[in-house]
């Protein structure tokens, strides 16, 4: 990638008089850069993309608090906070039972 020395924008290839030159939206033209080759990055090729593995495990990394589950009456639950409303209102506390994995909200 090359950038315009005048305004800092990205220079784009353009054909002018059967020659490839780099031009900018501000009007700058770079005619002395030699041959221009447009190559596709290896990371953008579909066959080269790697997919991330999603591992479903029972191992939780959330903090645990004392809260009674509505379903199984277990007294421990994981918790996390999410800002579900406006920024000037308190965050919503979500809880997930350690035993049965039931999830519920705590608005207090």
| pTM, two decimal places | 0.45
Q: For residue 68, what pLDDT is reported?
A: 93
In this predicted structure, the answer to whether residue 61 has a pLDDT above a threshold of 60 is yes
By annotation, the residues acting in catalysis are: 88-89
d(CA 64, CA 95): 9
| Domains, the chain, ordered by start | 1-44 (2.20.25), 64-106 (2.20.25.10)
Nearest to 67 by CA among 100, 106, 38: 106
What average pLDDT does the segment 91-99 reach?
A: 91
Q: Which pLDDT tens digit goes with each residue over 8-40? A: 888 888 888 888 888 888 888 877 656 656 666
Sign of CA dihedral 15, 16, 21, 22: negative
């Amino acid at each position: 990638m090359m950038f315009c020395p005048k305004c800092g924008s990205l220079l784009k290839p353009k054909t002018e008089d059967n020659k490839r030159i780099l031009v900018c939206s501000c009007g700058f033209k770079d005619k002395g850069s030699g041959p221009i080759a447009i190559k596709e990055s290896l990371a953008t090729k579909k066959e080269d993309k790697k997919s991330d593995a999603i591992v479903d495990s029972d191992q939780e990394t959330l903090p645990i608090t004392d809260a009674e589950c509505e379903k199984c009456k277990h007294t421990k639950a994981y918790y996390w906070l999410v800002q579900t409303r406006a920024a000037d209102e308190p965050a919503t506390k979500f809880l997930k039972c350690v035993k049965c994995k039931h999830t519920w909200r705590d608005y207090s």
